[in-house]
Structure 1
Amino acid sequence: MSEDKSQLEERLMIGLHGTPELKLGEKLEHLGVFRERILRLLTKDQVDDKQIYPEIEEALKDPRSTRLLLNGDLAFDFRAKYIKIARQYNKPYTVVNDPRLKGEVGLVVASDQAVDVNEVEVK
């Protein structure tokens, strides 16, 4: 009987709160993307720099990259330079506005599949 009760409780929780997300904490640190799908990332401060990081353009050229994600906390002027590059390489972009986001990630170049990139942070 207790097994039936725990299954019922589990179904009720899913009904109330939705299906639990896999690695939600990791995704909230990386603009909603699993770490293993990131080719390159910049911090908010790096996106705010006047310079454009060439590593981001290189990552957008990479055939494994499928999209650019930008933190919605950043001013449009700072995001616009990277949006322009994403359009140049026909990569879709998304501005992520989620109050649950954690950390200092400002930009992510991501793939739809896992990529084998050890060092994703641009120094």
Structure 2
Amino acid sequence: MSRKNVDDYITEGIHGVRLPKEDERIRFLGTLRERVVIALTIGQVMSDSGLEKLEEAMQQHPGTRLIMNGHVAYRFLTEEKALATKYNIPYTTITNEENNTDIGAVLTYDHAIDKEEIFIKEEEAEEENEEEKKEKTLRSKIKNWFR
């Protein structure tokens, strides 16, 4: 282990102690990637395209917690909060003014699980949206028949 010099002490005094994998912690809202069950991008949170996958993950992993990005408007986080409440999963909102991330919400453990695929593929999210659109258009067609 290397010895600290005066510059190291000054840097720690100004910026604080450097955490291991700090870039990873910034991206995943304060947690490490190895602890993440599922991660939703800001776009997926705002469009609610990952809600089904998030709900499935919450059902399968009851000992987790939900961390949401505080830079996302409150109205876009209501569905995620409702799901967390439904499955008794604690949730917090993290706002880091110094750093930006593309992650909107993370379902995470307090320990490492090393799940290989944590992101919802955009194709899956688009398929969900297309199914919703088809369902809405079918409903509107049926409604128009009876008007």
Structure 1 match to 2:136: none
Q: Deviations over 1:60-100 (max 9, x none)?
A: 22336421011111111110100010011111111111023
1:50: how far off? 4.2
Q: Does 1:77 align with 2:105?
A: no
The number of residues matched between the two structures is 120
More helix by share: 2
Which letter maps to 2:107?
V
Deviating more after overlay: 71-80 vs 98-107: 98-107
Q: Deviations over 1:18-74 (max 9, x none)?
A: 221111111111111101000001111111114552111121223364210111111
- 2:84 aligns to what SS in structure 1? helix
Structure 1 match to 2:29: 31
Q: Which has the larger radius of gyration?
A: 2
Which letter maps to 1:109?
L
Which letter maps to 1:80?
T
TM-score by length of 1: 0.84
TM-score by length of 2: 0.71
**Percentage identity across aligned positions?**
31
RMSD: 2.2
Matches within 5 A, 1:78-117: 78-117=76-115
Structure 1 residues without counterparts, runs of 5 or longer: none
Structure 2 match to 1:67: 65
Which letter maps to 1:23?
K
CA 1:16–1:75 in structure 2 vs 1: closer, same or farther (change >3 Å)?
closer
Structure 2 residues without counterparts, runs of 5 or longer: 122-147
Q: Distance in 1 between matches of 2:49 and 2:10?
A: 51
Q: Is the 8 A contact 2:50 2:120 kept in 1?
A: no
Deviating more after overlay: 12-21 vs 105-114: 12-21
Higher RCO (CA 8 Å, separation ≥ 6 residues): 1
Q: Distance in 2 between matches of 1:41 and 1:26?
A: 13
Q: Distance in 2 between matches of 1:28 and 1:113?
A: 17
CA 1:9–1:104 in structure 2 vs 1: closer, same or farther (change >3 Å)?
closer
Matches within 5 A, 1:20-59: 20-51=18-49, 53-59=51-57
